[in-house]
Amino acid sequence: MVKNIQLRISLKEEKIKDILLHKSAEDLNVSQTDISGIKILRKSIDARKPKIMFNYKVSVFIKEPLPETSEYKFDYKDVSKAKPIHIIGFGPAGMYAALRCIELGFKPIVLERGKNVQDRRRDLKTINRDHFVNEDSNYCFGEGGAGTYSDGKLYTRSLKRGDVRRIFENLVFHGATEQILIDAHPHIGTNKLPKVVQNIRKTILNFGGEIHFESRVTDFIIKDHQIQAIQLQNGKEFTTKKIILATGHSARDIYYLLDKKNIALQAKSFAMGVRVEHPQHIIDSIQYHCKGLRDDLLPAASYSLVQQVNNRGVYSFCMCPGGFIVPAATANGEVVVNGMSPSKRNNEFANSGIVVEINVDKDITKYEQFGALKGLEYQKNLERLAFTSGGRSQTAPAQRLTDFVEGNLSPNLNPTSYQPGLKSAPLHSLLPKLIGSRLRKGFEAFGLKMRGYYTAEANVVGVESRTSSPVNIPRNEKLQHPEILNLFPCGEGGGYAGGIISAAMDGERCAEAACKEKRQ
Ligand SMILES: Cc1cc2nc3c(=O)[nH]c(=O)nc-3n(C[C@H](O)[C@H](O)[C@H](O)COP(=O)(O)OP(=O)(O)OC[C@H]3O[C@@H](n4cnc5c(N)ncnc54)[C@H](O)[C@@H]3O)c2cc1C
């Protein structure tokens, strides 16, 4: 017999050996010796009250053995001689499109502008140490895309868009910890992601797919509303029948290329702001109601905040407890910050994007001349402003949180996890009013929601600008571009995803659509 039950376990009880066995037996009124095994289905922390509780959902197996394997099977077949589908970009969308093509009996040929994960790591060092951004290999570009050296939070709201569990199981199949199948807010961590990405690469190659690194796509040859060939910067050309375009939201050259070729694009609303960094112990003490260090059993605390200010949402984005702020620019001459954390989330800082909704129809009317690319140009200008005010390097402009809100230049800044360093700058007056004044009001409101959050011990760092795509590449019900029939815009760059899991799910969906399409 198998019974699914919910258990609430206090922090004190959590330290007791076999507590789940004791509690399950008590709850079901059965003898502990009759319980052959317990499978944890879900685990979350309830820290709303000072007495912190762990909520468990478990399957209790009574006089019945635990099933050993996952119900998910990944049926990869040899596709080395199968019909090809070209996939541009090897981020989560491109990787999962390639894996799905293999399952469906098509050969994925992936073209990726960046390098493999190992070589890419050297270019990340160069950004942090020498302030030089390789425009093909950085925190956004390269094997695994923006997902590889990301935070690896796997939480998604896109539950209706596909089989989330399938993606999680596939990540575990490729080496991610099984804990992601259980945690309410699953997280892999930037130190573990490269291995998972490498294993996905091995699967694709082992089953006959192709992956071409350092292969930046620069042009398409189009005839009769179909792309006939893909041209690369290195001079190579691939003739093609079907293309999944999964180049992410930082591939500005792809948007420019499509626009130049008069392929329809649409401006899309997005969000921009700053990243705020607190000492982790401040966030822990607020969220866990504790003074001093958090209990060893508790992970670095996170938060999620939202406030309406003058008809626009101001909200926390990609919060990274125990993490680092990283330089996520994709070109020299711009400063973009983002966040990541290792699997243990054991760094001494907590950082989060705090961003303001930008309504492209109402908020940036001065940019109308750029048509569908108006949001992109606005975003680009803000990143250039961050570059110049940060000192024309990857050093980022920053201010103490209280100085930002009160409108004072900070004479000095707090310690930071941001390796290229910070430079004090008057972000309160540099940011457009649309963003700056809403952020300042938002921070005041957050200080009331989380007592201790509004503090001079936190820095705000500019700019958090790549939250989602400012451009939408349209597609019809067959997931094809309405004007270019063998082009399947995919993932975050198309405007169809907002994180690792939703991009992966969209990759699978586009692969299914491309494999189904009869045109050969
Ligand atoms: C620092 C950081 C932390 C993040 N943390 C999280 C997180 O914790 N959780 C989460 O869900 N999301 C996170 N994200 C966002 C997440 O990484 C993206 O949403 C996701 O990677 C989007 O997937 P994608 O495949 O659509 O695009 P991308 O991952 O952007 O991949 C696009 C790929 O296309 C390639 N490409 C671009 N142009 C060309 C071209 N012309 N020719 C060939 N190849 C090209 C790029 O090199 C890149 O590899 C983070 C992002 C960053 C930068």
The predicted-structure confidence for 286-335, as pLDDT tens digits, reads as follows 999 998 899 999 999 999 999 999 999 999 999 999 999 999 999 999 99
Instruction: Compute the distance from residue 91 Cα to the ligand 1 centre, in Å.
Output: 5
Predicted local confidence at residue 152, as pLDDT: 83
| Ligand 1 surroundings by CB, under 6 angstroms | 88-94, 111-114, 139-142, 145-147, 150-153, 216-217, 246-248, 250-251, 253-254, 318, 326, 328, 338, 340, 491-493, 497, 499-501, 503
Place of tokens 């590449």: 473
Give burial (CB, 10 Å; 0-12/13-18/19+) of 234.
exposed
Mean pLDDT in residue range 383-387: 98
Distance from Cα 450 to the centre of ligand 1, integer Å = 32
Instruction: Please name the helix (run of DSSP H) or strand (run of DSSP E) that holds residue 196, with its range, or none.
Output: helix 193-206
Tokens of 334: 């711009």
With the most atoms of ligand 1 within 8 angstroms of its CB, the residue from 492, 505, 508, 509 to mutate is 492
Residue with the smallest CA separation from ligand 1 atom 33 is 89
Distance of alpha carbon 93 from alpha carbon 162, whole angstroms: 13
Residue nearest to atom 48 of ligand 1 (CA): 145
Whole-number Cα distances in Å, 252 to 103, 143, 344, 469: 31, 18, 34, 10
pLDDT on residue 72 = 86
Atom of ligand 1 nearest to the CA of 247: 34
Average pLDDT over residues 255-272: 98
Tell how far the Cα of 152 is from the centroid of ligand 1, in angstroms.
11
Report the DSSP pairing between strands 243-245 and 487-489.
Answer: parallel
Q: Kindly report, residue by residue over 416-454, the tens digit of the pLDDT.
A: 999 999 999 999 999 999 999 999 999 999 999 999 999
Q: Which atom of ligand 1 is nearest to the CA of 140?
A: 53
The pTM assigned to this predicted structure is 0.96
Distance CA 153, CA 156 (A): 9
The mean pLDDT value for 259-274 works out to 98
> Counting atoms of ligand 1 from 1, which one is nearest the CA of 150?
3
* Distance from the alpha carbon of residue 11 to the mean position of ligand 1, in angstroms: 37
pLDDT score at 36? 95
Nearest CA to ligand 1 atom 41: 217
Secondary structure, 3-state, 434-456: HHHHHHHHHHHHHHHHCCCCCCC
**Whether the predicted pLDDT of 520 surpasses 60:** no
**Angle CA(170)–CA(203)–CA(338) in degrees, nearest 5?**
60
Q: How far is CA 14 from the centre of its chain?
A: 31
- 189 phi and psi angles, rounded to 5 deg: 100, 140
CA end-to-end distance (rounded Å), the chain: 52
3-class SS of residue 64: coil
- pLDDT band at residue 156 under the 50/70/90 scheme: confident
Nearest to 491 by CA among 173, 330, 251: 251
Interval between CA 103 and ligand 1 midpoint (Å): 23
The pLDDT-based confidence of 89 (bands split at 50, 70, 90) is very high
Residues contacting 404, CB < 8 A, separation 6+ = 274, 427, 428, 439, 440, 443, 460
C-beta neighbour count of 286 within 10 angstroms:
18
* Pocket mutation for ligand 1, best pick of 119, 150, 193, 256 (most atoms within 8 Å of C-beta): 150
From 87, 117, 140, the mutation candidate for ligand 1 (largest count of ligand atoms within 8 A of CB) is 140
Q: Report CA(267)–ligand 1 centroid distance (Å).
A: 20
Number of residues that this document lists for the chain: 520
Take residue 492 and report the two structure tokens written for it. Answer: 């975050």
491 CA from centroid of ligand 1 (Å): 9
Residue among 148, 253, 302, 318 to mutate when testing ligand 1 (max atoms within 8 A of CB): 318
Report helix angle 193-206 to 117-130, nearest 10. Answer: 150
Asked if residue 117 has pLDDT above 60, the reply is yes
Which atom of ligand 1 sits closest to the CA of residue 143?
A: 49
158, pLDDT greater than 80:
no
Residue whose entry in the numeric block shows the structure tokens 């209990």: 295
Nearest CA to ligand 1 atom 19: 499
